[in-house]
């Protein structure tokens, strides 16, 4: 990217979920003139959640889109410039850091907060999109509460799937675990806990091929594979379908410049938002493979803005 005709931004925030907008609120109140680029999914993953009951300050609950609109308006109140657009190229080789927006507009920034989030991995079934927010979820701890005394299924055989199944077993009447292999990949202690929980039934060697229901999810069609010649179709009645086959952090733009862990999450100095590059900070699910909650993302956005303010002040920027 050339150095001419670029817009110069003091504090650039990439991403518009709870982390990005909380960072914007703090950065705006600190007079950092923050600019937020919302990306392909304004509001982040939370906009796909219909009901949120575990975020402080909403005693009656709220919708995901409504909460993100509240955060957006609060950020704007403190003079955050919220822009529609996607960062399509990044050059973090030297400061000020260089970016392209939508493959056209060129900008540079003194401080950058990366809050691009992560996406739950899905099976790729057309029905998953059809029942998104109406039975299909990528977060058991976010949405499990809405399936109390109901029957649900968890897809996956690793530690995360086992943790989700155990969590749901305390809320739901019945929990199916749909496992493609004939064994669980989870740690031995997690396997033992799952297999000893009365209301969890593990369906080994099963794959989901479809979902069904009128207006909301009511069932799933599975294939039980003992061999290609004797595959058997199985239908189960369920109210909720939880994916627990991993998440993909949105880090492709930054991997050339920032260190990631084995799963692709951006690394940072523990207990801070600082990366290996001065003036580049991380917030939210893009750097969090463990919690992935709106409230933890918001807290990390606060950290990133405070760290960015200190950096800019120390550099006289």
Cβ-contact 241, 220 below 8 angstroms: yes
Spatial distance between the Cα atoms of 280 and 190, rounded to a whole number of angstroms: 37
Spatial distance between the Cα atoms of 21 and 38, rounded to a whole number of angstroms: 10
Name the catalytic one among 11, 110, 127, 139.
Answer: 139
Q: What is the DSSP string of 52-92?
A: B-SSTT-TT-B-HHHHHHHHHHHHHHTT-EEE---EEEEE-
Cα separation values, 65 from 43, 52, 62, 85, Å: 7, 10, 9, 18
Cβ-contact 11, 111 below 8 angstroms: yes
Cβ-contact 15, 116 below 8 angstroms: yes
Spatial distance between the Cα atoms of 57 and 59, rounded to a whole number of angstroms: 6
Do β-strands 174-179 and 200-204 pair in parallel, antiparallel, or remain unpaired?
parallel
Name the catalytic one among 127, 143, 288, 307.
Answer: 143
How far out from the chain centre does Cα 121 lie? Answer: 10
Name the catalytic one among 11, 142, 162, 172.
Answer: 142
Please indicate whether residue 142 is annotated as part of the active site: yes
For the record, the structure tokens of 257 come out as: 């410049």
Query: Which residues lie closer than 8 Å to 79 by C-beta, 6 or more apart?
Result: 28, 33
Catalytic residue numbers, as ranges: 139, 142-143
């Amino acid at each position: 990217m050339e150095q001419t005709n670029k817009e110069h931004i003091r504090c650039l925030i990439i991403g518009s979920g709870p982390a990005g907008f909380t960072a914007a609120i703090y950065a705006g109140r600190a007079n950092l003139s923050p600019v937020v680029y919302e990306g392909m999914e304004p509001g982040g993953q939370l906009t796909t959640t219909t009901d949120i009951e575990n975020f402080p300050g909403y005693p009656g609950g709220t919708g995901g889109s409504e909460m993100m609109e509240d955060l957006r308006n609060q950020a704007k109140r403190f003079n955050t410039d919220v822009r529609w657009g996607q960062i399509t190229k990044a050059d973090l080789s030297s400061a000020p850091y260089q970016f392209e927006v939508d493959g056209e507009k060129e900008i540079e920034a003194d401080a950058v907060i990366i809050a691009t989030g992560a996406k739950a991995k899905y099976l790729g079934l057309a029905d998953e999109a059809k029942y998104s927010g109406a039975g299909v979820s990528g977060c058991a701890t976010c949405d499990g509460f809405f399936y109390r005394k109901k029957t649900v299924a968890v897809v996956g055989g690793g530690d995360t799937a086992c943790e989700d199944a155990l969590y749901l077993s305390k809320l739901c009447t019945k929990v199916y675990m749909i496992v493609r292999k004939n064994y669980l990949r989870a740690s031995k202690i997690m396997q033992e806990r799952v297999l000893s929980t009365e209301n969890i039934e593990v369906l080994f060697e099963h794959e989901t091929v479809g979902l069904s229901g009128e207006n909301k999810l009511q069932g799933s069609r599975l294939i039980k594979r003992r061999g290609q010649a004797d595959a058997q179709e199985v239908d189960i009645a369920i109210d909720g379908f939880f994916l627990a086959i991993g998440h993909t952090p949105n880090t492709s733009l930054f991997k050339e410049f920032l260190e990631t862990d084995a799963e692709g999450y951006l690394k940072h100095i523990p207990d801070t938002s600082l990366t290996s590059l001065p003036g580049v900070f991380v917030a939210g699910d893009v750097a969090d493979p463990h919690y992935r909650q709106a409230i933890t993302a918001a807290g990390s956005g606060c950290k990133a803005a405070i760290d960015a303010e200190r950096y800019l002040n120390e550099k006289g920027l």
